[in-house]
Amino acid sequence: MAEEKRSRKTGGDRVAVICTALRRAIIERALSPGDRLPEDSLGERFGVSRTIARSALGQLAAEGLVDLRRNRIAVVAVPSFEDARDIFDIRVDLERQVVRHLAGKLTEAQVKQLKAIVEAEHQARHGAEGISIRLATEFHVRLAEMTGKPVLIRYVTEICYRAGLSLAVFSRPHSSECAVNEHLELIEAIRTGPADKACALMDEHLEAVASRALLQNSGTRSRDLMDILAPYTE
């Protein structure tokens, strides 16, 4: 029984590793919407069985990042413009809940953690655009984690990654400078409160992200999956 539990845990850990890597590859735009994700290639790249790779793809499909098609063909999801707009509308409502839980309650340690992410955003502003998008996403996910509310954390994390996927479909270049400045303003507003003021600033920030980005189709690319995922398995 103990051995069986260890085996399940090991399998679950491997699924988590693959999911984390694929989420990051999607948000950094290494993987594009519509890119195929063959189980055998994923298994070979991550050193796991096809069964474990299939489980990871199933989890990502439940999160809306992967589409599972007939004959077990999995691809990175391709959201419609309507989906993308809905995702941002839902995200505004969810992150308003995050702000209400945190307004006036951030500790100095939490402020320091958030500012460290923003500093990383600042340092990455002249690098690959996908890195800035990932860091911006991590900022919002970290805010949600600070609430200590498991259900809220789960849904905010999912919606943030789905928003990142939407940006990969309908976008112009990400404005890292704007994100850095707006995130610093958000930290201060949440730290000091009141909640209504901080919520209004969060709404304004997310609407600005949508208006800056959801404007045009960026097109798709075709590259070898093994090469794409190499940096994410190290």
- Model confidence band, residue 176 (pLDDT cutoffs 50, 70, 90): low
- 66-69 and 73-76 strand pairing: antiparallel
Q: Mean pLDDT score of the chain, rounded to an integer?
A: 85
**Alpha-carbon gap, residue 26 to 205, rounded angstroms:** 22
pLDDT of residue 66: 95
Q: What percentage of residues in the chain have a pLDDT greater than 70?
A: 86
**Alpha-carbon gap, residue 144 to 221, rounded angstroms:** 33
For the stretch 75-90, pLDDT in tens is: 999 988 888 888 989 9
Residue at 191: amino acid letter: R
pLDDT of residue 1: 52
**Alpha-carbon gap, residue 201 to 225, rounded angstroms:** 40
120: left (phi over 0), alpha (psi -120 to 50) or beta: alpha
Query: Three-state SS across 140-194?
Result: HHHHHHCCCCHHHHHHHHHHHHHHHHHHHHECCCCCHHHHHHHHHHHHHHHHHCC
Return the closest-CA partner of residue 121 out of 204, 181, 168.
181
For the stretch 22-75, pLDDT in tens is: 999 998 888 988 999 999 999 999 999 999 999 999 999 999 999 998 777 899
**Mean pLDDT to the nearest integer, 185-192:** 96
pLDDT of residue 144: 97
Greater confidence (185 vs 29) lies with 185
Domains 1-78 and 81-214 share a fold: no
Residue 35 CB coordination number (10 Å): 19
Is the CB of residue 144 less than 8 Å from the CB of residue 153? yes
Q: What is the CATH number of domain 1-78?
A: 1.10.10.10
Q: What 3-state DSSP class applies to 161?
A: helix
Largest CA distance in the chain: 54
Domain boundaries, the chain: 1-78, 81-214
* Residue found under tokens 């290639």: 41
pLDDT of residue 90: 93
Fold for 81-214, please state it. Answer: Four Helix Bundle (Hemerythrin (Met), subunit A) (1.20.120)
pTM across the whole model: 0.81
Is the per-residue pLDDT at 4 higher than 80?
no
Is the CB of residue 132 less than 8 Å from the CB of residue 164? no
**Mean pLDDT to the nearest integer, 3-26:** 76
- Model confidence band, residue 220 (pLDDT cutoffs 50, 70, 90): very low
